[in-house]
Amino acid sequence: MVERRIPNPMVAGSSPPSPAIIFYKCSFRALFVINALFFGKEIMNLNTHFRNAKTELSKVIFPTKGQVKQAYIAVVIVVTVISIFLALVDLAMSSFMSAILG
């Protein structure tokens, strides 16, 4: 006797392996409906989506010019130090190998 189960798209190894297979030939509106059926999310219209995005974007704290400049300088210094270190290791290894191989 074979056990018959409904595919669970959130579990690896289920059949179909992904909801993307089901969504392949669906229209954009049908994607929202199928998403609501699979994952229990309510269907959101475009205006609500943009309103929520604007609200979330207003909560973001963007860095000041000074913070961006400080982060930029820190990245340049770290990359320079690491590149110098790797160049020295490469020089040492190549001179070591040329001494061994003659």
User: Residues 33-48: pLDDT tens digits?
Assistant: 666 666 655 656 777 8
* Domain membership flag for residue 101: yes
56 shares its domain with 67: no
Q: How many CA atoms lie within 13 A of 26 on its CB side?
A: 14
The reply to whether 67 and 46 lie within a common domain is no
Q: Is residue 2 part of a domain?
A: no
In a domain, residue 1? The reply is no
33 and 55 within one domain? yes
Structural domain for 48, as ranges: 7-60
pLDDT digit string (tens) for 17-73? 555 545 445 566 666 666 666 665 565 677 788 888 899 999 999 999 999 999 999
Residue with tokens 């300088």: 73
- pLDDT at site 48: 82
pLDDT of residue 23: 46
pLDDT confidence of residue 49 = 80
Q: Is residue 71 domain-shared with residue 89, that is, in the same domain?
A: yes
pTM beyond 0.85, yes or no? no
Whether pLDDT at 3 is above 60? yes
Q: Is 88 in the same domain as 74? A: yes
